[in-house]
Amino acid sequence: MDIDDARRLWSTYDRRFRDDPYPAFAVLRRHGPVHRVSLRSGEPAWVVVGHAEARAVLTDPRLVNDPDRVPGGRRSEDPLSAVGLGRHLLAVDPPDHTRLRRLVGAAFTPRRVEALRPRVAEIVAALLDGMAAHDEVELLDAFAVPLAVTVICELLGVPAVEQGTFRGWVKDLSAPAGDPAVVRASAAAIGGYLSELIAAKRGRPGDDLLSVLARAHADGQLDEAELMSNAFLMLVAGHETTVNLIGNGTVALLRHDAWAALDEERIPAAVEELLRLDGPVEHATVRWASEDMKLGDHAVPAGSRVFAVLDAGNRDPDRFPDPDRLDLGRDSGGHLAFGHGIHYCVGAPLARLEGAVAFRGLRERFPRLSLAVAPEELRARPSLLLRSWTEVPVRLR
């Protein structure tokens, strides 16, 4: 593969690239940390594949998350903004971001998250009991999805009987770039559901996160668009990263013949290494150049899109030697799986906790776990933002 092929693969985002983007990322990195590519619309964009350069992009104040802050404004191009859900944490900048993160972040402090450990362990045990009745299961539907959905819905205050209603909508949200109609329809459906739920919370508030946000709205700490947008973000992003961590991590462990080595002491470090090796978020949310600027040797005009490729930065050999190798003893600190800077994933402590409890339970209950298909048969979901498999069939014994 030459450099033109690698740039073309990123632009077309075909199945070969989706299933294994890492060879293309390696070619791009060998030819420099920043590359000009074409979006499907033909518009140019810049992708950043080096670890140090990605960190710099994620903290550069000239690269903004709010498309209204670029010349001419670009919010009209955001499918979530089209249905009133575009004022979430990942699409605003300070001072609005600072205010909103303070409200949401109170639910995800390490102390509050650690208090959830017994409940997460209880959910994991129940799911493993259900799986044990079978010789083979699809790991995402049987385990990762119900675990992550149950935990985030309980945290938000979504009634248990309704927790399965939005999963199809969430899958549609990760439709390929260039298909905003599907994203708009799914986002509108979730927005309508959340609007009814929040209205009920106003009448009968609890100690859940949606009730907290509803009270903050009543007190004037956030407006209606911010309330709905951040409720939407917590519901969707609050479980997708965990699902992908469990799915991607299990596949990586089995592909690298490391399942047997996953002992109790190694699990915390193993979670970090799995996040680094094949992280749940492939690209950070788009940044916009608020002014004409330079990225490396590239002149980037104001209004341009810039993508920090987190999974590419995490395999930069200048930061992680022998980066394609799974090493459960590696110091993976400094990986970019949850981003970097002020937009670092607010739910990272929860994802880490769920991942650790999930892998511990799976390893103890099913020590002979194996893939039920050849690794090359696995297919990735068509999402530029997220990195995940459509299915992970496994044999339990």
Query: pLDDT grade, residue 172 (50/70/90)?
Result: low
Q: What is the pLDDT of residue 22?
A: 96
3-state per-residue secondary structure call for 68-116: HHCCCCCHHHCCCHHHCCCCCHHHCCCCHHHHHHHHHHHHHCHHHHHCC
Tell whether the model's pLDDT for residue 11 goes beyond 90.
no
Tell whether the model's pLDDT for residue 153 goes beyond 70.
yes
Query: pLDDT grade, residue 252 (50/70/90)?
Result: very high
Q: What is the dihedral of CA 194, 200, 201, 206, to 10 degrees?
A: -120
Query: pLDDT grade, residue 166 (50/70/90)?
Result: low
pLDDT single digits (tens) 111-132: 889 999 999 999 999 999 999 9
Query: pLDDT grade, residue 175 (50/70/90)?
Result: low
Provide the mean pLDDT of the chain: 90
Q: In this structure, are residues 308 and 58 in contact, taking their beta carbons and an 8 Å threshold?
A: yes
Tell whether the model's pLDDT for residue 326 goes beyond 70.
yes
Tell whether the model's pLDDT for residue 188 goes beyond 70.
yes
Q: What is the pLDDT of residue 54?
A: 97
Query: pLDDT grade, residue 167 (50/70/90)?
Result: low
Which of 22-36, 84-98, 129-143 is predicted with the least confidence, judged by mean pLDDT?
84-98
Q: What is the pLDDT of residue 163?
A: 64
Could you give the CA distance from residue 251 to residue 393 in angstroms, rounded to a whole number? Answer: 10
Tell whether the model's pLDDT for residue 1 goes beyond 80.
yes
Q: Where are the domains of the chain?
A: 3-395
Which of 122-131, 366-375, 376-385 is predicted with the least confidence, judged by mean pLDDT?
376-385
Q: What is the pLDDT of residue 126?
A: 97
Query: pLDDT grade, residue 164 (50/70/90)?
Result: low
Tell whether the model's pLDDT for residue 288 goes beyond 90.
yes
Q: What is the pLDDT of residue 42?
A: 85
**For residues 316-324, average pLDDT:** 97
Could you give the CA distance from residue 272 to residue 324 in angstroms, rounded to a whole number? Answer: 14
Closest CA to 302 of 65, 71, 116: 71
**For residues 271-300, average pLDDT:** 95
pLDDT single digits (tens) 46-89: 999 999 999 999 999 999 999 888 887 777 667 677 677 788 99
Q: Return the SS3 of 369.
A: coil
**For residues 321-330, average pLDDT:** 96
What topology does CATH give the domain 3-395? Cytochrome p450 (1.10.630)
Could you give the CA distance from residue 232 to residue 105 in angstroms, rounded to a whole number? Answer: 15
Q: What is the pLDDT of residue 382?
A: 81
| Residue ranges with strand state E in the chain | 34-38, 44-48, 63-64, 136-138, 287-289, 293-295, 298-300, 305-308, 370-371, 393-395
Q: By percentage, how much of the chain surpasses pLDDT 70?
A: 93
DSSP for 109-162 reads -HHHHHTTHHHHHHHHHHHHHHHTT-SEEEHIIIIIHHHHHHHHHHHHT--GGG
Query: pLDDT grade, residue 178 (50/70/90)?
Result: very low
Token match 């009730």: residue?
Answer: 211
